[in-house]
């Protein structure tokens, strides 16, 4: 992308001035090198989002932005329901509530390394992963409805984890206003045997070592210590979420026309928030969020049980669980006045600052943990939300490195076995059920996560707390 298409406001803030049907500007947070690596469609999609009714302030994009479906991945936009604002399935994405959950072992990495091969093999055996994988549960109609209503709290009732962990999950583990009746029978049938599965694509389970702290007081509040091991799980709502997105993307094309909404791109199909279609989608989307939260709750408990087979007396304590693909009604301040807007985050992380009432009391002084995933062979980061971010991008931050090439391009350039062998030479063990999937996720197909995180911090969206490196990674 040519930076000349943008107006530079600072080293990390660039504006796309309104033109054509745009109602608000586009605002991209990135440094110049990251912008040059982005595809031109990021700006085109930012501009398309800026054309939608009821958008507030700007169409934002994070430093890891790349082309998505309708909205760019890394896109953030708020909509005012009272001003005819819309909700868009493409603004949430197909993997609804895909997110990261990080747990701390308090265990030194030196205790892990002698048994790392056994641990990696055990995690692959215990964690269902890959396309078509089946989990430990088989849900009947009543159980499925309860899961879609109660999220991680349902999983805890089923014996997966403890109730105290719910405080460390975004929204305390439950998305309110879920309406399972708005989820199609096909979507429900796809999920009946997929609870507690990792999935494929960019989803992973990673054993990590904390290697660097940037903010000692915040790290202490989070319980992070150099040399200790953490476990991160990245996955979402599996087949159910994908089907919900598919169902409503089609339905919203007709809804937009019926409500007189001129779409700059069919992929931006949407419906007024207050319409029947908009409310139906929100009910189904919240149910899918609950599915993802329950899924990650089960997965962490499966990891915990496997861990105890090798390391007696070691527990995994949940640091935080945060989603990337959601639309939530949030209280904000605009021009000094309290307001409530529906905020789409697609491939972007909510990043509440210190003092926010939605944070658990023990984390409130620090701000929300912001979990930034790496790329198997690169660092992951733990950041913290800032008060400044609330006025810059609706308390939002990046979610990972962001792709620089498609999965098809990556699979042509790399061989899965070669990727695994190369990472092994760097001391990173990979376990997978799909070498093609491994090629598609080769680290070289992503942006430099260090630069993405640095730009996020420089823009004031979140602050760096810790850097982690992979020891072993299980991929679908």
Tell me which long-range contacts 410-413 makes (C-beta under 8 A, separation of at least 24).
410/439, 410/440, 410/441, 410/442, 410/444, 410/445, 411/436, 411/439, 411/440, 413/439, 413/442, 413/444, 413/445
For residue 471, give Cα distances in angstroms to 116, 273, 338, 416: 8, 44, 45, 18
Contacts of residue 62, Cβ cutoff 8 Å, sequence gap at least 6: 29, 30, 74, 75, 76, 347, 348, 393, 396, 397, 398, 399, 402, 456, 461
The distance in angstroms from the start CA to the end CA of the chain is 32
Q: Taking the complete model, does pTM exceed 0.85, yes or no?
A: yes
Nearest in space to 223 (alpha carbons), one of 50, 324, 102, 83: 102
Q: Are 68 and 45 in contact (CB under 8 A)?
A: yes
Low-confidence ranges of the chain (pLDDT < 50): none
Task: State the greatest distance between any 2 C-alpha atoms of the chain, in Å, as a whole number.
Answer: 64
- 203, 344, 399, 426: the active-site residue: 399
* Residue 436: predicted pLDDT: 87
* Residue 363: predicted pLDDT: 96
Place of tokens 């690596």: 37
Nearest in space to 348 (alpha carbons), one of 328, 366, 377, 331: 328
* Residue 338: predicted pLDDT: 96
Task: Look up 203 and say whether it is catalytic.
Answer: no
Contacts of residue 330, Cβ cutoff 8 Å, sequence gap at least 6: 340, 341, 342, 343, 394, 395
| Dihedral sign of CA atoms 68, 16, 344, 361 in order | positive
Radius of gyration of the chain (CA): 21
* Residue 132: predicted pLDDT: 66
- In order of their start, the domains of the chain are 3-404+446-475 (3.90.1860.10)
Beta-bridge mates of residue 7: 15
Quote the tokens at residue 93.
């994405």
Condensed to tens digits (0 to 9), the pLDDT of residues 206-221 reads: 999 999 999 999 999 9
Chain centroid, CA 142 distance in Å: 28
* Residue 130: predicted pLDDT: 67
Quote the tokens at residue 407.
């999965």
**DSSP label at residue 164:** G
Chain centroid, CA 152 distance in Å: 16
* Residue 139: predicted pLDDT: 84
């Amino acid at each position: 992308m040519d930076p000349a298409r943008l107006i530079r406001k600072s080293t990390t803030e660039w504006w796309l001035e309104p033109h054509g049907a745009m109602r608000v500007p586009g605002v991209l947070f990135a440094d110049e090198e990251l912008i040059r690596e982005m595809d031109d469609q990021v700006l085109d999609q930012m501009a398309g989002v800026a054309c939608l009714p009821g958008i507030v302030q700007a169409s934002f994009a994070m430093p890891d932005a790349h082309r998505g479906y309708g909205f760019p991945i890394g896109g953030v936009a708020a909509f005012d329901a009272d001003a005819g604002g819309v909700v868009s399935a493409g603004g949430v994405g197909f993997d609804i509530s895909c997110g990261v959950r990080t747990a701390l072992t308090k265990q030194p990495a030196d205790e892990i390394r002698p048994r790392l091969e056994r641990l990696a093999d055990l995690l692959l055996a215990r964690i269902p992963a890959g396309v078509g994988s089946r989990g430990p549960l088989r849900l009947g109609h009543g159980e499925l409805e309860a899961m879609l209503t109660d999220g991680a709290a349902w999983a805890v009732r089923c014996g997966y984890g403890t109730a105290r962990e719910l405080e460390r999950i975004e929204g305390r583990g439950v998305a309110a206003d879920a309406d399972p009746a708005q989820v199609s029978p096909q979507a429900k049938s796809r999920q009946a045997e997929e609870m507690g599965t990792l999935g494929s694509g960019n989803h992973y389970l990673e054993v990590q070592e904390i290697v660097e702290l940037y903010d000692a007081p915040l790290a202490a509040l989070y319980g992070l210590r150099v040399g200790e091991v953490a476990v991160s799980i990245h996955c979402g709502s599996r087949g159910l979420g994908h089907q919900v997105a598919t169902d409503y993307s089609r339905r919203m094309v007709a809804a937009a026309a019926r409500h007189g909404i001129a779409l700059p791109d069919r992929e931006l199909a949407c419906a007024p928030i207050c319409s029947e279609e908009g409310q139906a989608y929100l009910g189904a989307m919240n149910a899918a969020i609950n599915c993802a939260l329950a899924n990650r709750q089960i997965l962490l408990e499966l990891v915990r049980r496997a861990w105890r087979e090798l390391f007696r007396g070691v527990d995994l304590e949940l640091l935080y669980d945060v989603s990337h693909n959601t639309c939530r009604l949030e209280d904000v301040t605009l021009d000094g006045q309290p307001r409530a807007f529906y905020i789409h985050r697609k491939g972007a992380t909510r990043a509440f600052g210190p003092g926010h009432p939605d944070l658990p009391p023990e984390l409130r002084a620090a701000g929300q943990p912001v979990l930034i995933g790496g790329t198997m062979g690169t660092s992951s980061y733990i950041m913290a939300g800032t008060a400044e971010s609330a006025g810059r991008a609706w308390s939002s931050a990046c979610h990972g490195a962001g792709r620089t090439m498609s999965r098809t391009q990556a699979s042509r350039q790399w061989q899965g076995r070669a990727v695994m062998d190369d990472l092994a030479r760097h001391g990173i063990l990979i376990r997978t059920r799909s070498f093609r999937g491994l090629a598609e996720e080769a680290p070289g197909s992503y942006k430099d996560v260090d630069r993405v995180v640095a730009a996020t911090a420089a823009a004031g969206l979140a602050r760096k707390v810790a850097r982690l490196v992979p020891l072993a990674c299980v991929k679908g």
